[in-house]
Structure 1
Amino acid sequence: MEFNGNPRQAAACEQQFWRPMAELLPVFEREGIRLVLEPHPDDWVEDGKRAVDIIRGINSPLVSFLYCAPHTFHQCDDCTGIMKKAG
């Protein structure tokens, strides 16, 4: 899954992201559904390190980060730094 939305309206998109997440997380946890998020070009969050922070904020072992090497240039062009942060 991507962080769909408009990077020029990141704050509004982030609010829209958290609202359904609060409802969906209990379902994911109950059903054992894994959610993998990827910052993607032209999403409301493109920076890989910022995406890792958001995913950690979700605080669920079922939600993780996908690093897509071809999108490195959109994720602040810091492959090593992003991977170190993501662990």
Structure 2
Amino acid sequence: MRLAYDPSHYRDNTNLRDTIENVARLGYEYVELSPRQDFIWFNQYPKVDKQMIKDLKRYCSDARVKISSVLPVQQWSSPVEEVGEAAVRNWKRCIEITSDLGVDLMNTEFAGDKTRPTDSEAAFVKSMEELTPLFEKEGIRLNIQSHPHDFIELNTEAVRMIRALDKDWIKLVYSVPHAFFYDDGIGDVE
């Protein structure tokens, strides 16, 4: 198990180098790269080039901090076809960046539209069919979180969807900050 720091509260007012240095000062060995406008932002194409990847690797090496995971949030479950297609394109770039960083884990959310769960599920499955070969080629594991206001909000439903994908490299993220929202039967999936 890795205890990783989520530097979300630094994302709006701290550059990437200072963020990594702050993580080291706090005594953490690992950092999760959660969404930030200067790297991978919510529902947008990543603003990352080869030099930024090289610089980030150097910042981590200098601070003796390792990247535990990359956390993109994209609308890959959108029932709006062009939004879903853009999200898959963004995901492909996020996977490439994660691989270039030498990281083997991505965390994310189901996203989608909770008022259109059936359409969102279909879009999610379609996105996964397209992205699965790339995840497998790059050797990147995926953890997905049920999230308030996504098409899957409850852990029991998230576990069922993850099981339906039938890939041993896809797991559930249990988010403690959202525990108030979740169902209380985390272990009760049949």
Among residues 48, 51, 57, which one is paired with 2:155 in the alignment?
48
User: Does the 8 A contact of 1:7 with 1:45 survive in 2?
Assistant: yes
Offset from partner CA, 1:4-44 (integer Å, 9 cap, x none): 11211111111110101011112211210111100011000
Deviation at 1:74, TM superposition (A): 2.1
TM-score under structure 2 normalisation? 0.41
Structure 1 pair 39–14 and aligned structure 2 pair: CA distance change class (3 A):
same
1:66 aligns with 2:173: yes
Q: Is 1:31 matched with 2:138? A: yes
Runs of 4+ in 1 over 3 A off after TM superposition: none
With normalisation by structure 1, the TM-score equals 0.85
Q: Which has the larger share of strand? A: 2
* Aligned positions, number: 82
- Residue 12 of structure 2 corresponds to none
Shift of 1:85: 4.4
Identity over the aligned pairs, expressed in percent? 38
Contact 1:47–1:75, Cα closer than 8 Å, also in 2 = yes
CA distance in 2, matches of 1:30, 1:69: 31
Pick the structure with more helix per residue. Answer: 1
- Give distance in 1, aligned partners of 2:155 and 2:144: 10
Deviations 1:65-84 (A, max 9, x none): 000122123222x0xx21x2
Q: Distance in 2 between matches of 1:59 and 1:33?
A: 16
**Partner amino acid for 1:2?**
E
